[in-house]
């Protein structure tokens, strides 16, 4: 079953179960996917998003909610923090399992060895390879500095 079909089925189930939080979050997910589909058609591409593109949309949604939760927490709006965290949990059920720190380090080492990357100039290809293999499984904002440090260390 595709990710898109799973989301649609779960939306229907949430309606039947009258699970308001899950229902509203799934509607937000569907809206984000449809918006991106429409944008693709506007760009002249006559296709729907791929599974990887949907995963990227879901990852962005999680990141947005994490940022919102931090802002709400700083403002002392704990009920809104709880809502954002609950939405994150729902969205994360559609994302691949996140890799542990050790698994991320191993993946970085593997790609660097495979590409025979030896300097900071190789950072782009290394990051592209990681993104193509591990979309939704690691935080590339945190991985970038790790790759940079590893390649900087390799050059010296």
Domain boundaries, the chain: 3-92, 101-155
CA distance 75 to 31: 28
CATH architecture of 101-155: Orthogonal Bundle (1.10)
Superfamily name and number for 3-92: Uncharacterised protein YqeY/AIM41, N-terminal domain (1.10.1510.10)
Each of the 156 residues of the chain gets a pLDDT tens digit; together they read 899 999 999 999 999 999 999 999 999 999 999 999 888 888 777 778 888 889 889 989 998 999 999 999 999 999 999 999 999 999 999 988 888 889 999 999 999 999 988 888 989 999 999 988 887 788 888 899 999 998 887 554
């Amino acid at each position: 079953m595709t990710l898109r079909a799973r989301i649609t089925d779960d939306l229907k189930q949430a309606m039947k179960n009258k699970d308001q939080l899950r229902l509203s979050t799934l509607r937000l997910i569907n809206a984000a996917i449809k918006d991106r589909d429409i944008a693709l058609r506007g760009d002249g591409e006559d296709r729907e998003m791929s599974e990887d593109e949907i995963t990227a949309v879901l990852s962005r949604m999680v990141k947005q909610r994490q940022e919102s939760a931090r802002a709400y927490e700083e403002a002392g709006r704990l009920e809104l923090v709880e809502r954002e965290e609950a939405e994150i949990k729902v969205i994360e059920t559609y994302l691949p399992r996140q890799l542990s720190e050790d698994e991320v380090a191993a993946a970085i080492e593997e790609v660097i060895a495979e590409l025979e990357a030896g300097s900071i100039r190789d950072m782009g290809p290394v990051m592209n390879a990681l993104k193509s293999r591990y979309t939704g499984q690691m935080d590339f904002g945190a991985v970038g500095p790790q790759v940079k440090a590893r390649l900087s260390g390799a050059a010296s």
